[in-house]
Amino acid sequence: MGKTKVFIGICLITALLATGCGKDELEPLDAPYELNLPVGFPPMPVPVGNELTVKRVELGKMLFFDKGMSRDSTVSCGSCHLQTNAFSDVIAISSGIEGRKGMRNSPPLFNLGYHPYYFFDGGVPTLELQVLAPVQDVNEMDHDFPLAVERLAQNPRYQEMARIAYNREFDAFVLTRALGAFERTLVSGNSAYDQYNNGQSSALNESAKRGLALFQSERLSCSGCHGGFNFTDYSFKNNGLAEVYADSGRIRVTAVEADRDKFKVPSLRNVALTAPYMHDGSIASLAQVVEHYNSGGANNPQKDERIKPLNLTAQEKSDLLEFLNALSDYEFTTNAAFAE
Amino acid sequence: MKSIINNLSLLLFAFVAIVSTTSCEKDHDHDGTGHMHIYFNNRYGLTEALDTNAVKTGTNNRDFRINKVQYYVSNVRLVGHDGNEVPFSGEYLLVKTNGVNELEMEELPTGHYTQLKFDVGVDSVTNHGDPSLLDAESDLSPTNNSGMFWSWNSGYIFFMAEGLVDTNATPNGTVDGPWIFHVGTDSYLSTVSIDIDKQVSEGSHPNINVYLNTAALFSNVDLGGADVITMTMNNMDLATRVKTNYSSAFTAE
């Protein structure tokens, strides 16, 4: 009996010592997250300190779909960013809490790690900082950021994951970084166009191939702004949407007159899935977008020189649409790894 | 011979160095250190504390109220009578509307200080850094509930003042519409210099009280008009006037 007690005592001491040691040496509790980039995609920049790990991404995904982010717990990131629509919304202006309306169309979310800045006016430099805006915007989640963090921090699961993922308690640091980590994993690059581009000639039909040629032609100049692997050069442009803009665009953050009524050029990947279009969602369909560019747009003093009447034939319009449809990546929109 | 000259010059150099160091110390009275607090206080006028419940009457018989005045103070330094600048604490302080807003330096070199300088706002490196790295308690944390960080245009609001004004066509004393001054972005950083007369001797504990006269915020601002709201970028003209107003409205004793 006595021997057993001594044995248990030794076991306890050993266990305690082992635990103490464990605290000093950082155990590999979390594993790196393997980002499988499509062929032809450059390495994705990741900020120091927020390297992708399994737990960081998992935590970020849980937060992305957590309605507790909003003041009255009715709206999550995922409420206005739907996977089936490449994480954009199907209406012109999404509803925040209590059905409130802001003034801009919910952008799709993919290949975000490559963006040099965020929002249509480019006012925010990192995905981590971007998180602050929708949480605090009175027309979106309308939440006081510290209160949002405080409430989410009561979730023991989040606390446990925060310790594993970031080696600290759940706080604003963890919240912004985990969401940034998850968002960086939203990579899309397996459309019919990509398959064609990677040597599978049959992935595009003849109409789409003609559309691609038109898209890349000097005459249409689409790829002048929507160029590169992500179909955008991230510049700020005015595309002649109206003579007078209700939303003054980038000038809001630069106060430079040349930036008036200009908006960040969006990627055209998955574009057939992201209707309605433009910064204000004012164009309902992709066919109408093609008509808009064909018309040369409204007479706005800031309009880009590339926007001019194109005199497209019915066949050319149809070919362009066929090509734009071939930019849809259904593997992305059905990937269970991104689903709630 | 050569080595003697070398030795001599070395001696001379050492002598000069010692003398200059000594004289330097005498200039500064750097015999030791004192302990100083600098307090920042909001006032209305030159003697009255800012009362956020008080309704004041401005130009054209317009009644108004000041609900909030808060701003960042950074790069604080004291200038000695010899012109030397001594950095004070190195902290970024968010001065709030009311309460105690203080900076402290426990080991301030002794000397006679004749000027206090500080910036209203934060330097551009800090302004474009990643503040989500900061502890929530930091005065610079965008999550400290102060509302001093623009989430849609990453950067700090350097100076924020808000309140209500009587917007009725015929003024009737009911303050019903907002006036909002949010001044920020790099080019709006301003430096304030105030003459002081502070002798800091060994072991002494002198304080400086800095006062912002918030009544002066409204120079060249027509509170009864339409031009009473600026988030800086949407109304740089008003932001510039407000910056000019507060930059010259500080006093110290």
Stretch A248-268: mean pLDDT: 95
Residues of B near A (CB-CB distance < 8 A)?
128, 130-133, 136, 141-145, 149-154, 185, 232-234, 236
Please report whether residue A6 resides in a domain.
Answer: no
Q: Are residues A141 and A212 in the same domain?
A: no
Residue at which a domain ends, from A135, A167, A187:
A187
- Of A16-30, A247-261, A283-297, B49-63, the one with minimum mean pLDDT is A16-30
pLDDT score recorded for residue B31: 66
Full DSSP string of B135-154: -TTSTT-TTSSS--EETTTT
Residue at which a domain ends, from A158, A187, A216:
A187
Please report whether residue A21 resides in a domain.
Answer: no
A231 to each of A19, A41, A87, A269, B105, how far by Cα in Å?
52, 12, 17, 7, 55
- Of A20-24, A134-138, A225-229, A241-245, the one with minimum mean pLDDT is A20-24
Q: Which of A103, A117, A121, A136 to mutate to test the interface with B (most CBs of B within 10 A)?
A: A136
- Residue B155 backbone dihedrals phi, psi, to 5 degrees: 160, 170
Q: Are residues A120 and A206 in the same domain?
A: no
Whole-number average pLDDT of chain B: 87
Stretch B24-31: mean pLDDT: 46
Cβ atoms of residues B43 and B212 within 8 Å:
yes
Q: Are residues A129 and A160 in the same domain?
A: yes
Reported confidence tier of residue A214, pLDDT bands at 50, 70, 90: very high
Please report whether residue A44 resides in a domain.
Answer: no
Please report whether residue A231 resides in a domain.
Answer: yes
Residues of A near B (CB-CB distance < 8 A)?
47, 49, 119, 121, 123-126, 128-129, 131-133, 135-137, 144-146, 149, 171-173, 176-177, 251-255
% of chain B residues with pLDDT over 70: 86
Between chains, do B132 and A172 touch, taking CB under 8 Å as contact? yes
Nearest residue on chain A to B130, judged by CA atoms? Answer: A129
Residues from chain B contacting residue A149 (CB–CB below 8 Å) = 136, 143
- Work out the minimum CA distance from A162 to partner chain B, whole angstroms: 15
- Of A207-216, A227-236, B170-179, B208-217, the one with minimum mean pLDDT is B170-179
Please report whether residue A339 resides in a domain.
Answer: no
Q: Are residues A231 and A296 in the same domain?
A: yes
Confidence (pTM): 0.82
Exposure string of A127-154, with b = 16+ CB inside 10 Å and e = fewer, is bbbbbbbbbbbebbbbbebbebbebbbe
Q: Is the pLDDT of residue A12 over 50?
A: no
User: What's A175's domain CATH number?
Assistant: 1.10.760.10
Please report whether residue A264 resides in a domain.
Answer: yes
Nearest residue on chain B to A133, judged by CA atoms? Answer: B151
Between chains, do B154 and A252 touch, taking CB under 8 Å as contact? no
Between chains, do B152 and A124 touch, taking CB under 8 Å as contact? yes
Between chains, do A124 and B153 touch, taking CB under 8 Å as contact? yes
Q: Are residues A137 and A90 in the same domain?
A: yes
Q: Is the pLDDT of residue A14 over 80?
A: no
Structure tokens at A159: 């606390």
Q: How far is CA B202 from the centre of its chain?
A: 27
Structure tokens at B159: 């100076």
Give the one of B132, B145, B234 whose C-beta lies nearest to A128's C-beta: B132
**pLDDT tens digits for range A167-178:** 999 998 899 999
- Catalytic residue, from A58, A128, A140, A322: name it: A140
Q: Is the pLDDT of residue B14 over 50?
A: no
C-alpha triplet B143, B89, B33: angle, nearest 5°? 155
- Work out the minimum CA distance from B104 to partner chain A, whole angstroms: 27
pLDDT score recorded for residue B192: 98
Q: Is the pLDDT of residue B12 over 90?
A: no
Give the domain range for residue A91.
54-187
Cβ atoms of residues B67 and B164 within 8 Å:
yes
Relative to beta strand B85-87, strand A236-237 is: unpaired
Q: Which of B130, B134, B144, B154 to mutate to test the interface with A (most CBs of A within 10 A)?
A: B154
Between chains, do B133 and A133 touch, taking CB under 8 Å as contact? no
Q: Are residues A313 and A251 in the same domain?
A: yes
C-alpha A225/C-alpha A300 separation (Å) is 18
Q: Are residues A160 and A232 in the same domain?
A: no
Between chains, do A125 and B136 touch, taking CB under 8 Å as contact? no
Please report whether residue A295 resides in a domain.
Answer: yes
Q: Are residues A121 and A107 in the same domain?
A: yes
Active site residue A243: no
**pLDDT tens digits for range B192-221:** 999 999 999 999 999 999 999 999 999 999
Stretch B14-19: mean pLDDT: 43
Residue at which a domain ends, from A162, A187, A212:
A187
Please report whether residue A243 resides in a domain.
Answer: yes
pLDDT score recorded for residue A3: 43
Between chains, do A145 and B145 touch, taking CB under 8 Å as contact? yes
Full DSSP string of A20-71: HHHHHS----S-B----PPTTPPPPP--TT---BHHHHHHHHHHHT-GGGST
Residues from chain B contacting residue A121 (CB–CB below 8 Å) = 152-153
- How many domains does chain A fold into? 2
Q: Are residues A113 and A69 in the same domain?
A: yes
Question: Which residue ranges make up each domain of chain B?
Answer: 1-29, 31-252
Residues from chain B contacting residue A150 (CB–CB below 8 Å) = none
Stretch B35-64: mean pLDDT: 93
Give the one of A124, A172, A255 whose C-beta lies nearest to B136's C-beta: A172
Q: Which of B134, B137, B141, B152 to mutate to test the interface with A (most CBs of A within 10 A)?
A: B152
Q: Are residues A80 and A104 in the same domain?
A: yes
Between chains, do B153 and A145 touch, taking CB under 8 Å as contact? no
